[in-house]
């Protein structure tokens, strides 16, 4: 039953606000960070010179997907499940300790915000994307905190690193949009290191 969260169902959107809502939902459900199960129009890629960012060690898929989404006029999903992807590869890069993760995630967030602001949107559409981007920004802070569990830090050292991460994210001055985002942003904004440490350890099992 667990795989059902990946099923989007059949739909076709051609109205900008509905497209934005679909993309925002996909971003918040973690369906917008991989090229898996997606097709693209080559003319859009060529017209806007969209390429993978070689300077990114992680998040290049997510960045390209969002930049592409800023230029589309329609979005379609099919109900059929064409294939499955095994995400339990023990040799995956995401399984290894990545000391560069925080800086890379923050850079991905910045580029996605820049892509959104460079495109012309109605106020309602812009708010929809801003809500999704603010959610992803603060969720990435939790990912950075969780990554610390892969290092041989004492509890005190880990909380010190969490405080450093909180400071970095506060410096980005990202406004949380929506009550759900404000809820996850609050511990970051107030540097509640004990709570954050407890949450990521609980999530890690």
* pTM metric for this prediction: 0.89
Residue 20: count other Cβ atoms within 10 Å of its Cβ.
24
Each residue of 81-118: pLDDT tens digit?
777 767 666 666 667 889 999 999 999 999 999 999 99
Residue 3 confidence (pLDDT) above 50: no
By the 8 A CB rule, do 184 and 196 touch? no
Q: What are the helix (H) ranges across 29-100? A: 42-47, 60-69
**Residue 77, SS3 per DSSP:** strand
Domain boundaries, the chain: 14-73+98-204
Each residue of 135-181: pLDDT tens digit?
999 999 999 999 999 999 999 999 999 999 999 999 999 999 999 99
Residue 1 confidence (pLDDT) above 60: no
By the 8 A CB rule, do 162 and 193 touch? yes
By the 8 A CB rule, do 18 and 72 touch? no
Share of the chain above pLDDT 90, in %: 76
Distance CA 116, CA 195 (A): 32
Distance CA 13, CA 2 (A): 27
Residue 12: strand pairing partners: 76
């Amino acid at each position: 039953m667990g795989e059902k969260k990946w099923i989007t169902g059949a739909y076709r959107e051609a109205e900008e606000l509905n497209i934005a809502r679909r993309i925002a939902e996909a971003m918040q459900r973690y369906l917008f960070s991989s090229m898996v199960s997606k097709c693209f129009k080559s003319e859009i890629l060529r017209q806007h010179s969209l390429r993978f960012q070689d300077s990114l060690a992680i998040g290049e898929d997510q960045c390209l997907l969002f930049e592409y989404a800023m230029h589309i006029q329609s979005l379609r999903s099919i109900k059929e499940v064409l294939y499955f992807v095994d995400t339990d590869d023990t040799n995956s890069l995401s399984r290894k300790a990545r000391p560069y993760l925080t800086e890379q995630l923050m850079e991905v967030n910045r580029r996605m915000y820049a892509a959104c602001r460079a495109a012309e949107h109605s106020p309602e559409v812009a708010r929809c994307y801003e809500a999704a981007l603010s959610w992803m920004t603060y969720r990435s802070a939790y990912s950075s905190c969780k990554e610390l569990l892969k290092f041989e830090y004492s509890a005190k050292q880990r909380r010190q690193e969490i405080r450093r991460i909180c400071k970095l994210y506060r410096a980005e001055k990202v406004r949380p949009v929506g009550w759900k985002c404000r809820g996850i942003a609050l511990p970051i904004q107030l540097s509640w290191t004990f709570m954050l440490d407890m949450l990521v350890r609980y999530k890690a099992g």
